[in-house]
Amino acid sequence: MTLYPAAQCGFQEKGTFLMTAQLSTALTAFVCAAETGSFAAAGKMLGISAPAIGQSVKRLEEAYGVVLIRRSTRKMNLTPEGALLYERAKEPLKALEDLDRVFNDKRSLVAGPLHITAPVGLGRRIVLPLIGAFKEQYPDVVLELDFTYETRDFIDDGVDAAFRLMSPEDSSLIARRLTSNEYWTLASPSYLQRHGEPQHPNELVNHSILACRKEKGGPAFAWHFDVEGAPRTMPLQPALTLNDPDSLAEAALLGLGVVQLRDDYAAHLVEGGGLQRVLPGFSAPANGLYLCYPYKNNLPARVRTFIDFVIARAKD
């Protein structure tokens, strides 16, 4: 039986328990004593002392104003009131014990809904492959993926975990860094043949800049460089602005201008020959990729397992 510490039992006034959990505690002690036939045996079963069992029974007797158990040096017997309480209490206590067992089982079961959010381009290129591998191992988890540039709320939007490109300042969240990245500046070979290759970030003012804008009407993302060992942010006038990194990369592949992308997103484009790195000596650190989740201990097994799975993959 589940037992709360007997010392927590108490009453506000005669016949009224301070807390429902305290009533459960005292009744558990009483029922166990009635079934084992002694306070000592009940205490051993529940992992507390015999006097603590006796104290719980005494508080029940004081609360109800009746004698529940008569004891002698050799044995103990239930009074009629004690027998009535035993018959009425044992089934509800068993139901509570069964309920506790159900939730213990659920806490250890890797199954059920899991709501994950991530930025659009990153979600497609990085999160989806992770999801595929995760589903192979845990097919009973039902995943809902929300790829968006908006920052979803863990409570209002029902998010279990979020991939974000910065370390959030919200102290109610845990943020686990998954990667360290750089910003690469890129252009297609055909564009560079027509317009030449810039040798310094200052020369970008003479080139067609392809920029990304996160929100409608908002500013385009600034470009970052490491110039002589110091970080530098350059405000550039875009020739073309898009709101999606896939479209941005496609525009660069078509030779429409110079683009700046995270290395984890652009690596396959460079390896395939579609884009070429320019200004490689000026690459700057990008925002890290973080896995964020609420700061709480009792995460469902499906959430804990997903977090551990992603972190383990990030270390490989």
Per-residue pLDDT tens for 32-42? 888 888 888 88
Q: Choose one of 46, 81, 107: the last residue of a domain.
A: 107
pLDDT exceeds cutoff 90 at 315: no
Residue 2's pLDDT is what?
40
Same domain, 190 and 275: yes
Same domain, 263 and 220: yes
Residue 179's pLDDT is what?
83
Task: Look at residue 136 and tell me if it is in a domain.
Answer: yes
| CATH number of 309's domain | 3.40.190.10
Same domain, 149 and 294: yes
Task: Look at residue 1 and tell me if it is in a domain.
Answer: no
The span from the CA of 277 to the CA of 184, in Å, is 7
Task: Look at residue 267 and tell me if it is in a domain.
Answer: yes
Task: Look at residue 176 and tell me if it is in a domain.
Answer: yes
Q: Choose one of 107, 128, 149: the last residue of a domain.
A: 107
Provide the pLDDT confidence category of residue 206 given band limits of 50, 70 and 90: very high
Residue 74's pLDDT is what?
74
Which tens digits make up the pLDDT trace of 131-146?
999 999 999 899 999 9
Task: Look at residue 18 and tell me if it is in a domain.
Answer: yes
Which tens digits make up the pLDDT trace of 64-81?
888 988 887 677 889 988
Task: Look at residue 35 and tell me if it is in a domain.
Answer: yes
Same domain, 188 and 231: yes
Task: Look at residue 125 and tell me if it is in a domain.
Answer: yes
Same domain, 173 and 303: yes
| CATH number of 46's domain | 1.10.10.10
Same domain, 194 and 274: yes
Same domain, 218 and 280: yes
Provide the pLDDT confidence category of residue 168 given band limits of 50, 70 and 90: low
| CATH number of 218's domain | 3.40.190.290
Domain that holds residue 123: 112-180+288-315
Same domain, 292 and 224: no
The structure's pTM equals 0.59
Same domain, 280 and 294: no
Task: Look at residue 25 and tell me if it is in a domain.
Answer: yes
Average pLDDT over residues 133-162: 90
- If one compares 310 and 106, the residue with the highest pLDDT of the two is 310
Residue 243's pLDDT is what?
79
Residue 14's pLDDT is what?
40
pLDDT exceeds cutoff 90 at 189: yes
Q: Work out how many domains the chain is built from and give that number.
A: 3
Average pLDDT over residues 213-225: 69
Q: What percent of the chain has pLDDT over 90?
A: 28
Provide the pLDDT confidence category of residue 253 given band limits of 50, 70 and 90: very high
What average pLDDT does the structure give for the chain?
A: 82
Q: Choose one of 65, 87, 107: the last residue of a domain.
A: 107
Provide the pLDDT confidence category of residue 284 given band limits of 50, 70 and 90: confident
Same domain, 311 and 163: yes
- If one compares 106 and 236, the residue with the highest pLDDT of the two is 236
Same domain, 80 and 92: yes
Same domain, 63 and 22: yes
